Amino acid sequence: MALSVQIEKWLGDFHLNAAFETEGETLALLGASGCGKSMTLKCIAGIVRPDRGRIVLNGRVLFDSEQGINLPPQKRRVGYLFQQYALFPHMTVEENIAVGLRTKDRAARKAAVAEKVKTFRLEGLEKLRPCQLSGGQQQRTAFARILASEPEVLLLDEPFSALDDHLRWQLELELMDVLRDFSGDTVFVSHRKDEVRRLCQTVTVLTAGRTDPVTTVRALLERPRTVGEARLAGCRNLSQAERLEEHRIFCKNWGVELETAEAVPGDTAFAAIRDGDIYPASGPDNRIDCRVARVVRDLDTVILMLATPGGSEGHSLLRMELPAAEWEALGCPEALAAAVCPADILLLT
Amino acid sequence: MDWYPLWNSLRIAAISAVIVFFAGIFAAYYIAKLPRGLKGLLDALLTLPLVLPPTVVGYLLLCLLGPRRPLGAWVLDTFGLRLTMTWWSAIFATTVVIFPLMYRTARGAFEAFDETLADAGRTLGRSNTYIFWRIRMPCCRQGILAGVVLAFARALGEYGATSMIAGYTPGRTATISTTVYQLWRTNDDGLAMRWVLVNVAISAVVLLAVNLLERRSREGR
């Protein structure tokens, strides 16, 4: 089981350059909206034609610009779960599932539909139309229809977007069952790291049309390597950085020098600090004297936006979160020294 | 009362509505895919009969189909068939006049169609023919149905181009609209009024039918 993708596509100023491989796992394609995630899936499915590249699924070449191969979507055996499921509104649940079937034999079709209805717990809903179903039932119908077409790979395009948290969790549980029973690879597009942690094993981050090398989910969240990865790992403090010495960097946006535990690689371009890794300074080490630019009160904590001495306003503010009691104990000062442990500075390319 | 004009009007309108149903859908589907410049040009050309006076359409048709004109003469020589002044000559006129109505409503319906449904059909392995007739058309049926009925109703009322190309021969080419004009011209007000009422009744029934169909298809969803 393997999917290998290496494609390029130009759309006006936008340049999509995606390259990744899967081998029997669920790969997360993470990225902010508008970075080309859906476009990548559409290229794999054959809905959009890439300008250059090669797509191979289980040894079958689906697309190769050099050899002039471009299989139509009908022949690719790619199961595509669209954002709003794209169920056919004029057909019943049964009819929707039957659209995916490849056999022409009437008895076999009937049996296959009945089997999918049972697997996806759609009994009693066979004659209903999509608009009469709940969100969960719609998703199950969509999966029943996709799996009826016997795909070799599943492409899931943000299946939980536009859902409230409760329903989201219900559908995530359903999706886990589907993925457990599906033998092929899966590409899961998302912009939420919590879903990815639970559903995927490997991940690649798509930033402005470019994919980062595939890594494991654990590695990405524990030690992001690029700005895109750091953002998705939850780092909100990001600055351009340059190497000064082996263990010293200069953070341009904050205008401060910081000491790092890690030896600074030559290609370091950015530094990131997680919200929770910034705390009020107690000594001179890695100390940043800040002015408190903004105080946002959360339920039991306060979020401080700190202006650094050499930094400009706006995006260069540091974000620190403190328990409300600790903030009161400090006396709600206008100036505050922040510190960060050298081991908590993430060096990014 | 001679009912021939009613029968003639209905068959002319029905036949031209069927022709325009396929032609309009075909044009709407393929023109939507063309590059912008060509699309604009064809769009204007195909909508032209909607804004031209029917007499101009009739004149242009006579220029093409008249017995001494290129196409008309050729058909007359080859098949011994006169294209004008027969009952079915009116079909040329009504078809051209109602084509834009069908074309534009079908195009509007296709533009409102969610293309991801077609993409879903393709990834599920279905042919483009299947997707067109079993997914796209049913999803657009309200707009398309409205277009057909509107086109039918307009064909029923066509006068200008019809009178030029088919003329008025009682019992042969007479339609409701040409009959009303003829009766009014010969001061037969009573009979003219009866035909007017017949026409109003048919049009009202057609439009009521549209409303009913639309409501039913909405409830069916």
- pLDDT, mean of residues A338-345: 90
In which band, very low, low, confident or very high, does the pLDDT at A309 lie, cut at 50, 70 and 90? confident
A158 and A252: one domain?
A: no
Q: Examine the domain organization and report whether A305 and A215 are in the same domain.
A: no
The total of other beta-carbon atoms located within 10 Å of residue A7's CB is 23
**Order of strands across the sheet that contains A301-307:** A278-280, A335-340, A287-297, A301-307, A318-323
**Is residue A175 located within the same domain as residue A289?**
no
User: H or E segment at A179?
Assistant: helix A165-181
Identify which has the larger pLDDT, A51 or A190.
A51
Question: What residues contact A47, with CB distance under 8 A and at least 6 apart?
Answer: A73, A80, B119, B122, B123
Which of A76, A79, A82 is facing B116, going by the closest CB pair?
Answer: A82
C-alpha neighbours within 13 Å on the C-beta side of residue A199: 30
CB contacts < 8 A, A to B, total 58
Residue A314: the pLDDT is 53
Same-domain pairing of A219 and A103 = yes
Q: Are residues A215 and A252 in the same domain?
A: no
A135-160: b (≥16 Cβ within 10 Å) or e: bebbbbbbbbbbbbbebbbbbbbbbb
Residue B180's Cβ-side half-sphere holds a number of Cα atoms within 13 Å equal to: 17
Query: What is the spatial distance between Cα B18 and Cα B152, in angstroms, rounded to a whole number?
Result: 9
Q: Is residue A228 part of a domain?
A: no
- Residues facing A14 on adjacent strands: A11
Answer whether residue A80 is part of any domain.
yes
Backbone angles phi, psi at B161, to 5 degrees: -65, -35
What is the per-residue burial (b if ≥16 Cβ within 10 Å, else e) of B98-125? bbbbbbbbbbebbeebeebbbbbbbbbb
Give the model's confidence band at B221: pLDDT under 50 very low, under 70 low, under 90 confident, else very high.
very low
Please answer whether residues B98 and B153 qualify as being in contact, where contact means their C-beta atoms are separated by less than 8 angstroms: no
The β-bridge relationship of strands A185-190 and A26-30 is parallel
Looking at the domain assignment, is residue A229 inside a domain? no
Which of A165, A192, A223 is the C-terminal boundary of a domain? A223
Say yes or no: A84 and A184 in one domain: yes
**CATH code for the domain in which residue A281 is found:** 2.40.50.100
In a domain, A232, yes or no: no
Structure tokens at B100: 């834009």
* pLDDT computed for residue A32 by the predictor: 80
Residue A264 lies in a domain: yes
Yes or no, beta carbons of A100 and B125 under 8 Å apart: yes
Per-residue pLDDT of A196-249, as tens digits, reads: 889 999 999 898 888 988 989 888 888 898 888 888 888 889 898 989 989 999
Residue A141 confidence (pLDDT) above 60: yes
pLDDT score recorded for residue B99 = 95
Mind listing the pLDDT tens digit for each residue in B155-182? 998 999 999 999 898 888 999 999 999 9
pLDDT for the residue A312 = 60
Kindly determine whether residue B123 and residue A99, on different chains, have CB atoms separated by under 8 Å. no
With residue B217 as reference, give the H or E element that holds it: helix B189-220
* B129 contacts chain A (CB < 8 A): no
Give the whole-number percent of chain A exceeding pLDDT 90: 49
B chain contacts of residue A73, beta-carbon cutoff 8 Å? 119, 122-123
- Euclidean distance between CA atoms A221 and B39, whole angstroms: 50
* B128, closest residue in chain A (CA to CA): A74
Does the pLDDT value for residue B212 go beyond 90? no
Of A171, A200, A223, which one is at a domain's C-terminal end?
Answer: A223
A20 in the same domain as A166: yes
Is residue A308 in some structural domain?
yes
Chain B residue with CA closest to A148: the answer is: B124
Query: What's the mean pLDDT in A21-35?
Result: 88
Q: How much is the pLDDT for B219?
A: 57
Give Dmax (Cα) for chain B.
Answer: 67
Do A267 and A133 share a domain, yes or no? Answer: no
Are both A206 and A263 inside the same structural domain?
no
Domain that holds residue A73: 3-223
Percentage of chain A beyond pLDDT 70 is 98
Give yes or no: residues A21 and A108 share one domain: yes
Q: Looking at the complex, does the CB of residue B2 fall below 8 Å from at least one CB of chain A? A: no
d(CA B218, CA B201): 26
Which percentage of chain B shows pLDDT scores above 70? 96
- A103 in contact with B, Cβ within 8 Å: no
Question: What pLDDT shows up at residue A283?
Answer: 82
Q: Are residues A202 and A310 in the same domain?
A: no
Question: Residue A310 has what pLDDT?
Answer: 72
Q: Taking the CB of residue A109, how many other CB atoms lie within 10 A of it?
A: 16
Instruction: Identify whether A78 is part of a domain.
Output: yes
User: How distant, in Å, are the alpha carbons of A5, A30, A202 from that of A195?
Assistant: 23, 11, 13
Write the residue in A77, A129, A145 that is nearest to B221 by C-beta.
A129
Q: Of the candidates A255, A258, A184, A200, which has an alpha carbon nearest to the alpha carbon of residue A232? A: A200
- pLDDT class for A146, splitting at 50, 70, 90? very high
Establish if A8 belongs to a structural domain.
yes
Query: Are A183 and A282 members of one domain?
Result: no
The answer to whether A47 contacts B127, with C-beta atoms less than 8 Å apart, is no
Alpha-carbon distance of A252 to A255, in angstroms, equals 5
- The neighbour count for residue A222, using CB atoms within 10 Å, is 10
B131 CA: distance to closest CA in chain A (Å): 10
Q: Answer whether A86 sits within 8 Å of B127, measured CB to CB.
A: no
Q: Any chain B CB within 8 A of the CB of A76?
A: yes
> Closest chain A residue to B137 measured between Cα atoms?
A90
Total of domains in chain A: 2
Q: Helix %, strand %, coil % for chain B, to 5?
A: 80, 0, 20
What is the reported pLDDT for A313? 53
Give residue-wise pLDDT tens across range A148-186: 999 999 999 988 876 778 888 888 898 898 899 998 999
Do B196 and B27 meet the contact criterion of CB atoms below 8 Å apart?
A: no
CA atoms of B5 and A169, how far apart (whole Å): 68
Return the CATH number at A73: 3.40.50.300
Interface test with B, best of A41, A47, A187 (most B CBs within 10 A): A47
Give CA separation, B75 vs A108, B12, B88, B92, B113, in Å.
Answer: 54, 21, 15, 15, 42
Yes or no, beta carbons of B123 and A84 under 8 Å apart: no
pLDDT digits (tens, 9 = 90+) for B118-142: 999 999 999 999 999 999 999 998 8
Contact at 8 Å (CB) between A57 and A152? yes
* pLDDT tens, position by position, A85-138: 999 999 999 999 999 998 889 999 999 999 999 999 999 999 999 999 988 899
Instruction: Determine the number of helices (DSSP H) and then strands (DSSP E) in chain A.
Output: 9, 22
**CB B18, CB B91: distance < 8 Å:** no
pLDDT at A315: 59
State the smallest CA–CA distance between residue B220 and chain A in angstroms: 9
Instruction: Respond yes or no on whether ipTM tops 0.85.
Output: no
pLDDT band at B210 (very low <50, low <70, confident <90, very high): confident
Minimum Cα–Cα distance from A149: chain B residue: B124
| Domains along the sequence of chain B with CATH | 4-220 (1.10.3720.10)
Per-residue model confidence as pLDDT tens digits over B52-85: 999 999 999 999 998 888 888 888 888 888 888 8
Which residue, A223, A249, A271, sits at the end of a domain?
A: A223
